Structure 1
Amino acid sequence: MTEPIQIFHNPRCSKSRQALELLSEQGIEPEIIRYLETPPTEQELSDILVALNYQPRELMRTGENEFKELGLDNPDLSREQLIAAMVANPKLIERPIVLANGKAAVGRPPENILTIL
């Protein structure tokens, strides 16, 4: 059995809603993970970063107050410290993220997710 398609979703985000609509148009009912309420674990987030081929800051919303307040632009912070900060402050995680077929895509723009379906 194949893994279900998952979307790390924030219903208040227009790009996240658009990505969910795109999935629906493809006949896909993904597992919806409201990551602000149920953040990924550090291991899950690390796995997502590997699937995206991203470094942690590439998946961070650098304009959020928490980014500045926590000093996350400090180049001395390790990968593990940055991942821990995102898990502790899920608002920092860029959205939406779709996982499908062992791959991951960030839906910015939402059409990016179509590349992994």
Structure 2
Amino acid sequence: MSEITVLHNPRCSTSRAAVEAVEGSGLDAEVRNYLKEPLTKQEWLDVLGKLDAAPTELVRRDPNFERSGLSDADVATADQVATVLAEQPALAQRPVLIRGGRAIIGRPKSAVPDFLA
């Protein structure tokens, strides 16, 4: 079992920087492209249970969010967030780093080194 998991979008420079930092840390890592290998609702709920932030912070508020017809009320609870992200993984903030019983959104990039220490 890996020491750390990175939920990664290779098109995102912040996500690529997190993967590089993890690889440089010497930790045994699993890098999962969540767009090609989407998480299930239960997997998102597990991540949300470890997240050092409110569940709603895991959802990107970008043009895809607006095109989806979603509002903040649709992603107010962990269950709602998990449902939305299981159906539309592109709406997930990236990267997400999971280590032991904790998970963080790797934004800003400066959050990653402290999490790896």
Q: Which band: TM-score by shorter chain? A: 0.7 to 0.9
Match of 2:69 among 68, 71, 88: 71
Unaligned 5+ segments in structure 1 are none
Corresponding position: 1:112 with 2:111: yes
Unaligned 5+ segments in structure 2 are none
SS at match of 1:40: coil
Q: Deviations over 1:16-58 (max 9, x none)?
A: 1100111122123410101001111111111211211433321
Per the normalisation by structure 2, the TM-score is 0.83
1:54 counterpart residue number? 53
2:84 maps to a residue whose letter is A
Per the normalisation by structure 1, the TM-score is 0.83
1:33 counterpart residue number? 32
Would you say the 8 A contact 1:10–1:96 is kept in 2? yes
Q: Indicate how the Cα distance of structure 1 residues 31 and 3 shifts in structure 2: closer, same or farther if over 3 A, else same.
A: closer
Distance between the aligned counterparts of 2:40 and 2:18, measured in 1?
23
Q: CA deviation at 1:114?
A: 2.7
Q: Indicate how the Cα distance of structure 1 residues 78 and 112 shifts in structure 2: closer, same or farther if over 3 A, else same.
A: closer
Would you say the 8 A contact 1:64–1:92 is kept in 2? no
Q: CA deviation at 1:82?
A: 3.3
1:13 counterpart residue number? 12
Q: CA deviation at 1:111?
A: 2.7
Q: Indicate how the Cα distance of structure 1 residues 44 and 103 shifts in structure 2: closer, same or farther if over 3 A, else same.
A: same
Q: CA deviation at 1:84?
A: 1.2
2:97 counterpart residue number? 98
1:23 counterpart residue number? 22
Q: Percent identity at matched positions?
A: 37
Q: Indicate how the Cα distance of structure 1 residues 47 and 75 shifts in structure 2: closer, same or farther if over 3 A, else same.
A: same
